[in-house]
Every structure is written in C-alpha cells, then in structure tokens.
Structure 1
Amino acid sequence: MQTQISEIAAGVYRLSTWVAQVAPPAGFTFNQFLIDGEEPMLFHCGQRRLFPLLAEAVGRVMPVERLRWIGFGHVEADECGAMNQWLAAAPQAQVVHGALGCEVSINDYADRPPRPLAEGEVLDIGGRRMRWITTPHVPHGWEAGVFFEETTKTLFCGDLLTHVGDGPPLTDDDVLGPALEAERMFRAMTLAPGTAAILRGLAELKPATLAIMHGSSLRGDGAAALEGLASFCEREARELA
C-alpha cells in the first residue's frame, strides 16, 4: 500500500491510501486531510496499522512535530484508531472534538486531555478557521460532527458521500450517484427523522470543496450533492416507516 498526497484546496492536503481488500473488486480509499496553518491540523487519524504510512506522508508536507490539532468526525477505528500514535509523534498536538464526543469517549481514550468544542465554535489555527458543526447520528454515531473551514469553504464531511474505488483525488464529476450505490451496499447511514434536515443544513453552507473520507473529494457544487443525499435519505426513511 502507498499513501498519495494531493492538494485539494489552498493549504488542504488529502492523504489517500487505497486498500484493495476492502469492498473488492473496486477497493476503498481511506483519506486523511492535513490543513496547513500556523497551528496545523490533521483531520482523521487513520487506523493504527496505517500510521507508519500516514506519518511518512505527513512528513513529506511538514514535520510531524508541527501538528497542533488532531480532529475527526466520530469515534471509529478509521477515524481515530491511531490517535495516540499521533499524540506521541507530535508532542504539542491536542485532540479536538465536540463536547459530547469528549465526554462520552475521548476523555478516556486519548493519552492527553482533548479540547472540547461547542456547537458552531470556531477553532482558529492561524490562517484557517475550523468551525465545528454537530451532526448527531449523521452519518452515524451519537457524537458525530463535521468541520467547515471558512476561508476555503471546505467541508470536512467524514463518511458522508462515501463511495468505493480509487478515483481522482479531486473531481467536479458526480459523486452522489456513486455514493448512493455505496450506501445501498453498506447501509451505513442512520435514517432517522432528522437526517435530511441535518444534511440540508450543511448544504446551506454552500461548500466549494467536499473533503470526503472514502472516495474522491468534490470541487464545485457541494450543496447539490448534500441536497441529493438528503432527498435519498428522506425517501429511504419513508419506505422504512
């Protein structure tokens, strides 16, 4: 396996590792995002076994020791499995997450105390403004949330719009169609009464880039992709009712 590095927005780097054994024959990408600023941030830690590859990739962009913040959307192995390895490699780094996630899990899991964020709170990392938005149970996890980087209008949307295969790092093609195919395969979305409303709230941000954890990132009309996903979830929830 190799980790590929691509700049998907100004100072935002996608670190992508394609794993053939997951969702064959297309395989599956596991993506982390490095946000450069005076206090650099890594979004998604990756699994523990991928840490050597990911640390080497970060080192191609900046010294790992420069990392100041480590974030993720929800508590799951590919989101935060290597959290403590990153904390050991970057002595000044601190995990940052929503207050609920810190209270129910991260205060215990992390080797150093995390920084809890309130809904809508902005973490200024110097040249980049990371706004925390809670999205409970969307796509899954009580403590789930996303970050919206206000200067580049990049939405770090985690497992939302997941799709399989090893596509281009950044695309302006349709990601909704492949994401709906993947959802029919994995059934990973929580189809709760409030799911569509949360997705439409994210669409109102009008993101210029969607930093997608599994699959290609999207450049262009991020709102349309999120609205399409909201409509799909709405229909699926009605059928289940």
Structure 2
Amino acid sequence: MITNAQSDTKVHEIADGIYRINTPVALPDGQRFSFNQYLVVDDAPLLFHSGPRQLFGPVREAIAAVMPVERLRYVGLSHVEADECGSLNLLLAAAPGAVPVCSQVAAMVSMNDLADRPPRALADGELLSLGRREIQWFDTPHVPHGWDCGLMMERLTKTFFCGDLFTQPGAGAPALTEGDILGPSEAFRQPMDYFAHAPDTGATLRRLAAEDPRTLACMHGSAWRGDGAALLHRLAETVAGRPGG
C-alpha cells in the first residue's frame, strides 16, 4: 500500500501485526537506497527506527494508515544515528504517551540528553511486554557499529529487528523475500565497510542465531523470511573471513 505518492512511501505487513514502512531515496551517484521502519501493533504499539528527521511526514502518514499515531507507546532505536532516531522527538510530540527504547549505554551517553522524554533503557536479555507480544532486547556492542548498539526480537512471530545487519542497496523491493540477501548486502558493505569488526562480532552473531529468528526485519532493503539462524551463521563466517573479523 502506497501511503505517500511523492516520497513513494509504502506499508506492508511482513508478519502478523508487524508492518514495514519503506521509503526509497536517490543517492548522489544515481543509485537508490531505502529506509525502513517497523511498526508492531499491540496494546502498547512499538515503532523500531524513527527514520531521519526529513522523512517524519511520510513516516507519520504511514503509521496513521495502520493505526492512530497517538497510540504509539514505544519508539525503539538500535544505536544513535540520524536514520535510527532523527525524528524521534517529533514522534514523541505526536504521541504524548510514547517513550524511547534503547540500550542502557545509549541512554547513558546520549538519549538521556537528546530525547525530549526519558528513555526506557533495557538490559541485555530483558523482555518488554506490548500486550500479547513480548519484545526481547539484546545488547550487541560494536555489532555492527558503536558501543551503544542493541537489537530486538518479537517473540511471538520470531521477527528479529536486525537494524543495519544485511543492509541491501536499491529501493527495497520486494517488501519480503525468501531470496538471497547476504550476497547483495556483502557486495554493498565491503567497498565502504561499516562493521566495527570487534573481537566479539562472530560470537554476537552466533548468539543471535541461537534465538532461531524466522523473519529478519532489515532496516535497509527487503525484509527476509526463512532460516534466520543459518543466515546469521553465514554472516558470521563471512565477517570472520575479513581482516579483523
């Protein structure tokens, strides 16, 4: 469903009650890239990634196509970066009952100051109830980026909100695929490698694989359905094959 024709923002349900909001943008070289947010509809709805500040209008319209924006209770972020939380405060203003959700490190070093409302800082492994669903938080320091990184999984559908893992180029079509995303994501990553390559990167990816995700909600590109554990193991092997991996 297209919710903004000018920005070409679309909404698709990728798992039961979980909606992907996708907006393609043009890169300076003429190629296309995409930004995704994920809306989990429940008694206490959660949006993972706010999107950049410049995309607030289309993202708000997309949320409103699914549910009233003011119903939002949580706005999650993996780490502090514009596409993760650029429009966070605008969303908090639109949803007076909402609070940010982030790692304890992100709260300590950034969100306690940057956010207009105190964040809900989750500990590693902590569960957050949304109603009939639970979100589980995983600290993933330096995977793929900074010290404050963390990711989350929706336990009912085993949807893993994997942030910048498996970033793919292009406009992000189709919304959900069972095809290869590791090949395109690695081809995109390697020329401008954005992984931190911390000593525990492989172990962190294998720990996430042990959660047996069924759907990978990628922040850039298509969401993916299949054996998420196997795909995360393959990513761990690929990253380990590079210097510092």
Matches within 5 A, 1:186-225: 186-225=192-231
Conserved 8 A contact 1:19-1:29? yes
Match of 2:177 in 1: 171
Distance in structure 2 (CA, Å) of the matches to 1:188 and 1:94: 29
Aligned to 2:25: 19
Answer yes or no: is the 8 Å Cα contact 1:137–1:143 preserved in 2.
yes
How far off its partner does 1:25 sit? 4.1
* Aligned counterparts of 2:162 and 2:26: Cα–Cα separation in 1: 23
2:94 is matched with: 89
2:176 corresponds to 1:181: no
Q: Distance in 2 between matches of 1:20 and 1:27?
A: 5
For residues 175 and 221 of structure 1, what CA distance do their matches in structure 2 show?
Answer: 12
5+ residue gaps, structure 2, are 1-6
Instruction: Please say which of residues 205-214 and 218-227 is displaced more in the overlay.
Output: 218-227
Alpha-carbon distance between aligned partners in 2 of 1:119 and 1:203, rounded to the nearest angstrom: 16
Q: Is the 8 A contact 1:8 1:169 kept in 2?
A: yes
TM-score by length of 2: 0.95
1:43 alignment partner AA: F
RMSD: 1.1
> Which amino acid in 1 is paired with 2:64?
G
Residue 131 of structure 1: aligned partner: 136
Aligned to 1:142, which of 129, 140, 147? 147
Partner Cα separation in structure 2 for residue 186 and residue 127 of structure 1: 41
Which SS does the other structure have where 1:16 is aligned?
A: strand
> Which residue pairs with 2:4 in the alignment?
none
Identity, % of aligned positions: 50
What is the CA distance between 1:97 and its match in structure 2? 1.1
Correspondence for 1:7 among 10, 13, 29: 13
Q: Separation in 2 of the partners of 1:15 and 1:221?
A: 23
Aligned residues, how many?
Answer: 238
Which residue, 62, 71, 79 being the options, matches 1:66? 71
Which deviates further from its counterpart, 189-198 or 137-146? 189-198
Task: State the secondary structure of the residue aligned to 1:237.
Answer: coil
Shift of 1:2: 2.0
Shift of 1:206: 1.0
Deviation at 1:224, TM superposition (A): 1.8
| 1:162 and 2:167 correspond | yes
Q: Which residue of 2 aligns with 1:108?
A: 113
2:151 is paired with a residue of what secondary structure? strand
Give distance in 1, aligned partners of 2:191 and 2:235.
15
Q: Which residue identity does 1:203 align to in structure 2?
A: A
Cα deviation, residue 189, structure 1: 0.8
Contact in 2 for aligned 1:163/1:214 (Cα 8 Å):
yes
SS in 1 for 2:238: helix
Uncovered stretches (5+) of structure 1, i.e. residues with no partner: none
SS at match of 2:241: helix
The aligned counterpart of 1:56 is 61
CA contact (8 A) 1:175 1:225 kept: no
105, 117, 123: which one aligns with 1:118: 123
| Letter aligned with residue 49 of structure 2 | H
